[in-house]
Amino acid sequence: MKKELEQAITILSNSRKVVVSTGAGVSRESGIPTFRETQKGLWANFDPEELATLEGFLKNPAMVWNWYQDRIKQIKEVKPNPGHYAIAEMQDIFEEFYLITQNIDNLHQKAGSKNVCELHGNILQFKCLEENTIVENWPDTDQVPPRCGNCNGMIRPNVVWFGEALPEKELSFAFHIAANCDVMIVAGTSGLVQPAASLPLIAKRSSNASIIEVNPQKSAITPVADVFLQSTSGNILPELLEKLKHKF
């Protein structure tokens, strides 16, 4: 690993525009199971790709609402891990730095990252199913899911479900910076969920960027990575940051 780490340091210390793209793996060390792991406990018999869909919500709104409420409760109890903090510190050492995430857990923001480009929304935000507008509060009833005070439509999490389009602004921003960067660090993603998984390919092809992958296991990204740091993000990102600080 020493050789790969040196390679990553050399690439990063010669880069002006740095993009970090993260997936569920960077929150694993905060105690949040990744999508590829089976859901724990209560939800063990459900497939997230079933529940995280509009069809799943319409078929059983109360169950999907409660699944999200359980995840919100868990997310509120956990803290960012050293990987999140290292990414937050990186924003101040490069000339241009951008963070894109597939994650909806708000942990990058909690760790101090600014201008986080959330491709899949944020589990702590809600919107009216009918009006598709962000809703901060709603009439206090014991209805599950609650209803919009404006149109009585069901309230849903402001996240992108499978089969739903990603938010236009965030997606075009992500494509643009992927196509105009010197290096992309891809951390904690299996590289299976599109269109987020195409970002490293865009960076490589359109920007001739170097791709540095951080993952304890090989993924669909590994074949396009110039450097594969086979480690957990909570372990290797702080080490990478420490070495980088001595270069700048």
Please, which residues bridge with residue 184 across strands? 19, 211
Kindly state the smallest distance separating residue 17's Cβ from ligand BV8, in Å: 23
Span of 4-12, 54-62, 171-179, 191-199 interacting with ligand BV8 by CB under 6 A:
191-199
| Token pair of 76 as six digits | 């509120």
Catalytic annotation, pick one of 84, 108, 120, 246 = 120
**Do 30 and 107 touch, CB atoms closer than 8 A?**
yes
Kindly state the smallest distance separating residue 227's Cβ from ligand BV8, in Å: 15
Span of 56-64, 139-147, 175-183, 211-219 interacting with ligand BV8 by CB under 6 A:
211-219
Kindly state the smallest distance separating residue 119's Cβ from ligand BV8, in Å: 7
| Token pair of 97 as six digits | 């730095």
Binding mask of the shown chain, residues 26 to 65, with x at each position contacting ligand BV8 by CB under 6 A: x-xx----xxx------------x--x-------------
What is d(CA 70, CA 55) in angstroms, rounded to the nearest whole number?
20
Beta carbons within 8 Å of 216's beta carbon, 6+ residues apart: 25, 230, 231, 232
Catalytic-residue membership of 120 = yes
107 binds ligand BV8 (CB under 6 A): no
158 binds ligand BV8 (CB under 6 A): no
Rg (CA), the chain: 19
11 binds ligand BV8 (CB under 6 A): no
Q: Report the amino acid identity of residue 116.
A: V
Beta carbons within 8 Å of 126's beta carbon, 6+ residues apart: 134, 135, 136, 138, 155, 156, 157, 158
Q: Where do contacts with ligand BV8 occur on this chain (CB under 6 A)?
A: 23-26, 28-29, 34-36, 49, 52, 102-104, 120, 159-165, 187-190, 192-194, 214-217, 219, 232-234
